[in-house]
Amino acid sequence: MPEIPELEAIRGFFNEHLPGRAIAEAEARIPVVFRTGAAAIRETLPGDTFGAVGRHGKFLLFGLGSGRVLAINPMLTGRFQYVEATTKLAAKTCLRLEIAGGRSFRYRDDRLMGKIYLVGSDQLGLIPNWTENGPDLLDPALDEGRWLARIKKYRGQIKSVLTRAEFVQGIGNAYADEILWEAKINPYVPRTKLDDEQLRELFRSARAVMAWAAPLVRANMVKGETLDYEERREFMRVHRLGGKACPRCGATISEITANQRITSFCRTCQPELPA
């Protein structure tokens, strides 16, 4: 699942290549992912131009010269491509935008879980849960004090709290493991057992992990003028590395699968708290 580092790398790439480029042709190939009419994509995007690309939580926001926004949440298996127009279409390519000058913007989704909206720039609040969800993790207005006040509203295991969009947006399963490892906090500890300093350390660790991962992700997915995102996270220090040595203490990393979610952590570096 793309999380902040992947989406930030994609956003940065597209901001270098898309603004000012005209859309010559639009094809909505698999309508199920379009939450606004696929016909609007086909009929109104050609002739429009790209503006700046933003990100909010797990949405990439492609600004358009018409004052609209193409908002895409790739969910679990959505992937972006920016390739030569002659490149063979991948299976499950849902959206294809031919860009003046011979490049092709594509969105594919093996499990068709993603969501694509075409809305006015002042209509993002119409997207379900847009206003109900919490702030983006990288929002400059989210400081330690605001983080602390928000996180204390939630109970349950701390990993589950971190991945709740109602609390904060942009953290998924993989980077939650990395954040908790960085902070030396067990993923199964109830939030109520963590003191203020531990909760503040989580904030610092979350920001640090995102800053560390983003350039590594970009190096994997960007080759010159081409972006072809496949999920490669060989740089991870703990997530999905069960059975390997912890890079900090050398103990064996534990891995637990529950409810189709993998949790990886070091029982030595991230001990359980006393009852």
What digits encode the pLDDT tens for the residues 85-110? 999 999 999 999 999 989 999 999 99
In which band, very low, low, confident or very high, does the pLDDT at 229 lie, cut at 50, 70 and 90? low
Mean pLDDT over 122-148 rounds to: 95
Instruction: Report the percentage of the chain scoring pLDDT > 90.
Output: 86
pLDDT of residue 32: 94
What's phi and psi for 245, nearest 5 deg? -80, 135
The tokens for 29 are 């190939």
Nearest to 217 by CA among 236, 237, 242: 236
pLDDT of residue 141: 96
The answer to whether 13 touches 220, Cβ cutoff 8 Å, is no
Q: Which domains does the chain have, with CATH numbers?
A: 4-126 (3.20.190.10), 144-220+234-266 (1.10.8.50)
Mean pLDDT over 247-260 rounds to: 94
pLDDT of residue 186: 98
Residue 34, pLDDT above cutoff 90: yes
How buried is 69 (Cβ within 10 angstroms: 0-12 exposed, 13-18 middle, 19+ buried)? Answer: buried
Mean pLDDT over 209-226 rounds to: 87
CA–CA dist 267, 228 (Å, integer): 36
How buried is 249 (Cβ within 10 angstroms: 0-12 exposed, 13-18 middle, 19+ buried)? Answer: exposed
pLDDT of residue 231: 66
Query: Within 13 Å of residue 139, how many CA atoms lie on the same side as its CB?
Result: 17
Residue 224, pLDDT above cutoff 80: no
Q: How far is CA 271 from CA 120, 180, 181, 184, in A?
A: 48, 11, 11, 8
| Strand-pair partners of 119 | 69
- Of the ranges 89-103, 122-136, 227-241, which one carries the lowest mean pLDDT score? 227-241
pLDDT of residue 109: 95
pLDDT of residue 275: 62
Higher-pLDDT residue of 273, 253: 253
In which band, very low, low, confident or very high, does the pLDDT at 189 lie, cut at 50, 70 and 90? very high
The DSSP secondary structure of 92-145, one letter per residue, reads: TEEEEEEETTTEEEEEEETT---EEEEEETT-GGGSTTTTTS--BTT-TT--HH
CA–CA dist 141, 51 (Å, integer): 24
Mean pLDDT over 52-72 rounds to: 97
